[in-house]
Structure 1
Amino acid sequence: MAPDFRDEVRQWLAEHLTGEFAPLAGSGGPGREHEHLELRARWERVLGEAGWIGLGWPAPYGRGASIAEQVVFHEEYARAGGPGRLSHIGEHLLAPTLIAHGTDEQRRRFLPPIARAEELWCQGYSEPEAGSDLANVQTRAVLDGGRWRITGQKVWTSLAHVADWCFVLARTDPSAPKKAGLSYLLVPMDQPGVQVRPIVQLTGTAEFNEVFFDDAVTDAGLVVGAPGDGWRVATGTLAFERGVATLGQQMAFAQELDAIVAQARDRGALDDPLVADLIVDAWAGLQGLRHHALRTLSAAEPDPAGASVAKLLWAGWHQRLGELAMTVGGAAATVIEAAPYELTDAQRLFLFTRADTIYGGADEIQRNIIADRLLGRVQR
């Protein structure tokens, strides 16, 4: 990594996260995805113009940045208060999947608009009866001439209300065993057969959605991998989900912890041995998250259970951080003071983190994966 790369990133952010984009600082994080949607979409396009989207994609698709450079970018982005990313799902989930499993035609069609932030994506995996048990997907797709016709329901679909496209895991061969009958389809959202319904969360916001497909269509060529090979492609996407961007997530975690420490200092709560012990434990846990992520990302060989270990570590840690925020705030932290009855950052953190151990792969499922892939103790 060039020694001035961190300075380059830091200077660019300082110069651009200002003026019309100044209100974006610190916005759009978990539980706050509703903030400044139009302005954040313009910000994404500025990032794309500067080549910061697709930073780690190999040439000719991206800049081919090293792991160290990608870590630096995500760290500096979080340190500068960069807003929650609307293009995250396209950049970090779909694009690596297309690079690994897509056709040349699919890569030419979809990677440039993702890199320019001209097309936003969402992920069509979970269903009412197929969350952690993803192989139980019931959404159906039938090949009809030159198009797939898709019928079914997806749930907990992040950013579906702003997405232009969705990569959908659908059952294309009902007679095949669970994992063998699935296909990975690229589906346009702006069509009569797609309906999006926001799901209101504990925080009062709605970044998750239900998505209904009622004879929605997509071109026959927009299947990634072969028809029936969707399970392999979909699990490949999940592996990319917990990549280098987690270092930026951890920087955001550190900022949340810093805010809690500052509040504890202002309230005199640091004099309470219990609170002081909890803060030290949170700090130590955050260092563990970082070292695990760096070890996994820099490993010469893939770690078959590393991503699941990472999810277990950060979900539980972040949930405890939300509890710590309420402990530091005391009884007053349970009260919303006055109209318009907006949640405080601590209240939003506590409420949103209740779901951390469920979304993105429930803790129980992650333990099964670890047992299966690392310890070999799951009975088949």
Structure 2
Amino acid sequence: MRLLYLCLSPTFGMHQYTAGLANQMVAAGHDVHVIGPAGLPRDRYHPAVHIHTPLTNRTTGFSREGLDLPALRRVLACLHTLSLPHPLPHPPPHPPNKPTNQPPTHPPNQPTNKPPNQQTNKPTNQQTTLHLTAPHLWNPIFIRRCHKRGLSAIHTIHDLDPHPGVPFGRLIPLWNRLILRQADHILVHGRCYRRRLVAQGLSPRRVTALPLLHLCFSHAAQAGLDSLPPPSPAAPPSLLFFGRLLPYKGIPDLLQAWQQAALGNARLILAGPGDLAALWPHDLPPGVELRNHLIPDAEAIALFQTCSLLVLPYVQATQSALIPAAYYFGKPVLAADTGALSEYILPNRTGWLFPPGDVPALAAALATLLTDPALLRGMGFATRAWYEAQAAHEQTALPALYTQPPAP
């Protein structure tokens, strides 16, 4: 099967997400191509994934960049060439992962004098499926082009509702409605969103819900995870907030709760880029450590290995790959009960929930959990078991999703 992943978003997180899907499918033996902007983080992708970079952009098209018609034509040309009928490939084990800004070319079929029944008993061409993994203004154009070629187009919708403060957030519901009408199949990462779309009239056959499972590391770093020693939480206990410091993530609530909990020698680590001063214009409370940069792989792995508990104090969210990442390392999670986050947590087995924005409830949970390190360590088996069960399900669910025929 040939899989075309279209991710024109320049954001690091969208390519981390796309790489999680592409790497899994190329490891299963499929012919995988990614179409994205120049400068995408190539280290996130498996070496056998073919990278095509026909444009340079800094936005998702909801700006003047959306009027760059030459760039649009280059993407369409790349998509056209990759969607042509093609023979089953016989790639080397690890072909070079080199980007190109030109549409790919294929050698013409070579003539043969052999009768058809002596040539091969394999099908001449593979199925080709397009998966649009990130929002972009041009995506509806690409979907229509695929339909003209009889190809199936799958689209991930990450946010049915925009996060507070997101640029062009008012356009997202309108854009989502357009995608829902055009795409053959919709992928969401919460069962609650699937139920919502079905209630709005979308056929249950056209929407799939799977949890986010990708880890936030490069392909090389992930390949080395199995050789790491078992995680060992540091003493004193530490609470980890990981990710960009954004308004909807509840940083002020977390810092207020930390002050109220008065946890003595426990540590809170805020790890990620962002303008903390815009969210918290005060001195940091005692015990808080700020790592205000894009966290490299080695540092991120060390943080997950040594933390006692991951916290997601979000005031508004959809889903998060950080919860499965913590589970991979055998760490429980304390999260606000917003969006689909509750679907990722088995209460008192893999983590705990609290009402979003409820600072006293968060402070009480921190005071209870970070003073009971034995409880946190004892949840390691259940968290890793959750991750492995979901990963096993995804290995069968993704190929089934990609082999569905186009919608009539």
Fold match by TM threshold 0.5: no
Structure with the higher fraction of residues in helix conformation? 1
Larger Rg, first or second structure (1 or 2):
2
TM-score range relative to shorter protein: under 0.3
